[in-house]
Amino acid sequence: MEPAVRPALGNHLSHGKTERMTTARDHNLNLQRQRLEALVNSPAQGSSELAQTLKQLGDRAMRFFTGQTEPRIWQRTRQGQLTWYAHDPVTNRTRQFSSEQEVRLWLEKRYYE
């Protein structure tokens, strides 16, 4: 009987070793997955600047190929001061305004010219 018990015990021990190896491998894979997710989810330094530059290039290319004549308006805050900008593709001029109301007045004037 003893030989029959030993193989069963031996199988049990090797099964435990396999479980530990699987658990260690799963843990290692889980750590690698977490690291990859962190890399993918966290913006790398400079990637937002690259994305913004690519978007600007795409916008310019679209305007060039479509012959857009509508003004482009945007705002920026520098040193706590909000400034409005409007680019007129017809005249190829960019203007700067200190309020939304000034932009609206310029748009109305431009429309009736």
- Please tell me the distance from the alpha carbon of residue 90 to that of residue 110, in angstroms, as a whole number: 10
- Please tell me the distance from the alpha carbon of residue 93 to that of residue 61, in angstroms, as a whole number: 18
Report pLDDT for 99.
95
First vs last Cα of the chain: how many Å apart? Answer: 107
24 part of a folded domain: yes
48 part of a folded domain: no
94 part of a folded domain: yes
49 part of a folded domain: no
52 part of a folded domain: no
pLDDT at 98 over 70: yes
Which tops the pLDDT comparison, 113 or 100?
100
Q: Give the count of domains, the chain.
A: 2
Report pLDDT for 7.
47
What pTM was computed for the model? Answer: 0.43
50 part of a folded domain: no
53 part of a folded domain: no
Write the pLDDT tens digit of every residue in 31-88: 777 777 776 666 555 678 888 888 888 888 877 777 778 888 999 998 899 999 999 8
31 CB contacts (<8 Å, ≥6 apart)?
none
Verify that 38 and 77 share a domain, yes or no: no
Q: Buried (b) or exposed (e) across 32-46, using 16+ Cβ within 10 A?
A: eeeeeeeeeeeeeee
36 part of a folded domain: yes
Domain that holds residue 73: 68-113
